[in-house]
Amino acid sequence: MGDGASARFAARYQPIVDFLNGGGEFKERPGVKTDWDKPWDEFFEPGRTVLKRFCEEFNEQFDGWPYLGGAEQLETLYHPGPVYIEEYDGSEDVITENVLTI
């Protein structure tokens, strides 16, 4: 995604949060590869509709399509205090302790 604004948009996208909190899961359709501008087509419904909406809104705001790799492992986390999301080469960790806020 590249920058803080697009990462915040993705991490806080409420329809995805609601879908996951409601017990939804994103499941890839095996062997299906789609055009770069329709990444949501690689997923089964009902998750495909949620991801399509996310991708379209993301593209409108940031003029590019997000990468959906790893969507099957998405989960939500509620933490009442500040968090830091550490990312390296596609792997993310949520740090909840010793977070410096300014």
Q: What are the structural domain ranges in the chain?
A: 4-76
Q: Which pLDDT tens digits describe the chain residue by residue (102 residues)?
A: 456 788 889 988 999 999 999 999 999 998 888 777 889 999 999 999 999 999 999 999 999 999 898 899 999 988 888 877 777 776 777 887 776 655
In sequence order, what are the residues at sequence separation of 6 or more whose Cβ sits closer than 8 angstroms to the Cβ of residue 34?
Answer: 41, 42
pTM for this model (two decimals): 0.81
| pLDDT recorded at residue 72 | 93
Q: In this predicted structure, what is the pLDDT of residue 100?
A: 62
Question: What is the three-state SS of the chain?
Answer: CCCHHHHHHHHCCHHHHHHHHCCCCCCECCCCCCCCCCHHHHECCCHHHHHHHHHHHHHHHHCCCCCCCCHHHCCCCCCCCCCEEEEECCEEEEECCCCCCC
